[in-house]
Amino acid sequence: MSSQSVPGAVRRKLNRLRRAARQAPVDPFFALSIDLLWISSLDGGLLRVNAAFIDTLGHPEPEVLSGNILDLVHPDDRDAAAAAIAGLADGNPVAGLEIRLRCADGAHKFLAWNCTPFPDAGWAYSIAHDRTRRHLHEEALRQSEARCICAIESTTDAFFAVDTAWRVVRVNQQAERLWMRQRDEVLGRNLWEVFPEAAGGPFHRMYEQAMRSGAPAHLEEYYPAPFDRWFEVHVYPSAEGLAVYFRDVTERRHADEKMNRTLQEKEVLLREVHHRVKNNLQVICSMLRLQERNLQDETMLQVLRECRERVLAMAMLHDQLHRAKDFSNINLGEYIRNLAASLFCSYGVNSADIGLHMDVEDISVFIDTAIPCGLIVNELVSNSLRHAFPEGRKGQISLGLHARPGGPIELTIADDGRGFPSNAQNTRRRSLGLWLVDLLAGQIGAAVYRSNDAGTSYRLVFQETESREIQSNAKAPDHVSRG
């Protein structure tokens, strides 16, 4: 800021003004003020500055006093500042002009500048309040608001916000599209004046509840005319009001309804399939029973009876599936209880002679597990009824079914009858029933534990898996029942 370029006459005038400014009495306020104060000539030449001016901008005082205030003004603000200075000679004050002054480190301070000229004296008094912190805060708020608006406008959900008086204060483009209204039509208006048909309805009740409780809320509800659509709504309350995100889920609802109808149709079809399979198996049972009447050979009668019982066991499973709500799983406990009771009835057992004790839990298993289990129970209970209690011997048959959470399932069939002969399990010509027990146990991956103490006991331990296919060509398992 050299004064070499200033014409001599002007320089001499500035020196006189500076001497006069330094000699002029100044209120202590000038020295103690935290605002920037300076005295300048009417063309902006700096004559005197206070300590706050030097401390804020950081320039040495001799350097400042050798130049013009315009030398410190940001280039973008210089035209406005020059126009304001040009009016000082005519007595026009400067009021609240926003300018930026350069600091010694190259940064700029944001100032609100006020100036009062005294044309007769040839100088002007200026005061500038440092608004840098406020400006930075406002800029941060503007950037935050811009990010908020960007996020709200870029979301795929429709969005609007209301204040505590239900005035709409914000709307995004998606809300304009779904509402079929421009935001200028709704901003500042009461929400229930914009949508009077919703007053008192489920959306109104949810919004009021969220406003009162301060807890977020969610609702999926049909909105009648004029929209005739399904909306999913999420409400987030705050001290300022409610922020509401919503989306049109009409197509998804229609797809869900179509899928549900299809599932219902399939359930009806599966139910009918199980019903018909049950009926067909019962027809087979009836045919076998009729065939029994025409036979005199006890061996053949026994073979037909065993076949009929096996078919009946499968028919009972399909009957239970026909009545069930879930076609992929079956209550194994219920199935075993019904099967055992049916066998006792079929053999005409007097409960006073042979008792039936069942400690059976309700355990849900897949169908391909239930069928082998049911046939195993059928074979072993039938075997006990036929052979364990000869010549009117009394006793009891016990069934157990238990499972630990996440652990194996244990199925037990036992009687306190005479038990198997010691070589029954090892003979080369085992009965078909015992051979089936081992075959079916292998299909469900069950370990078989056999005991001949105080009667006969079979304990099968297996793990239910998510899926298991019954192998049609399975061979008898290699493992031997262990005592």
Among candidate residues 195, 228, 248, the one where a domain is terminated: 248
> What is the structure's pLDDT at 26?
55
Query: By three-state DSSP, how is residue 328 classified?
Result: coil
- Across the beta sheet with 168-171, the strand order is 168-171, 158-163, 241-248, 229-238, 217-223
When pLDDT is cut at 50, 70 and 90, the band that residue 24 belongs to is: low
| Whole-number percent of the chain with pLDDT over 70 | 87
459 bridge partner residues: 412, 449
| Cβ–Cβ under 8 Å, residues 243 and 234 | no
CA angle 458, 331, 373 (to 5 degrees): 30
Provide the domain count of the chain.
Answer: 4
For residues 244 and 297, membership in a common domain is answered with no
Q: pLDDT-derived band of residue 9, with 50, 70 and 90 as boundaries?
A: low
Query: In this structure, is residue 125 part of a structural domain?
Result: yes
pLDDT at 227: 85
Please tell me whether residues 418 and 295 are part of one structural domain. Answer: no
Are 464 and 388 found together in one domain? yes
For the domain that residue 464 is a member of, what is the CATH number?
A: 3.30.565.10
Looking at residue 150, its pLDDT comes to 86
- Asked if residue 420 belongs to a domain, the reply is yes
Q: Are residues 287 and 381 in the same domain?
A: no
Give the relative orientation of helices 332-346 and 298-323 as an angle to the nearest 10 degrees.
150
In terms of domains, do 115 and 15 share one?
Answer: yes
Q: Is the pLDDT of residue 4 over 60?
A: no
Confirm whether 98 is domain-assigned. yes
The reply to whether 237 falls in a domain is yes
The reply to whether 121 and 241 lie within a common domain is no
Q: Break the chain down into helix, strand, coil percent, rounded to 5.
A: 45, 25, 30
- Domain of 58, CATH number, reads 3.30.450.20
Of 296, 327, 358, the residue that ends a domain is 327
The pLDDT assigned to 118 comes to 92
Range of the domain at 368: 350-483
Return all residues near 388 (Cβ < 8 A) that are at least 6 apart: 395, 397, 415, 416, 417, 418, 419, 455, 456
Q: What is the helix (H) or strand (E) element at residue 238, kind and residue range?
A: strand 229-238
Secondary structure (3-state) at 56: helix
| Cβ count within 10 A of residue 206 | 17
Q: Are residues 481 and 362 in the same domain?
A: yes
**Do residues 399 and 463 both lie within one domain?**
yes
- The residue-averaged pLDDT of 262-268 equals 75
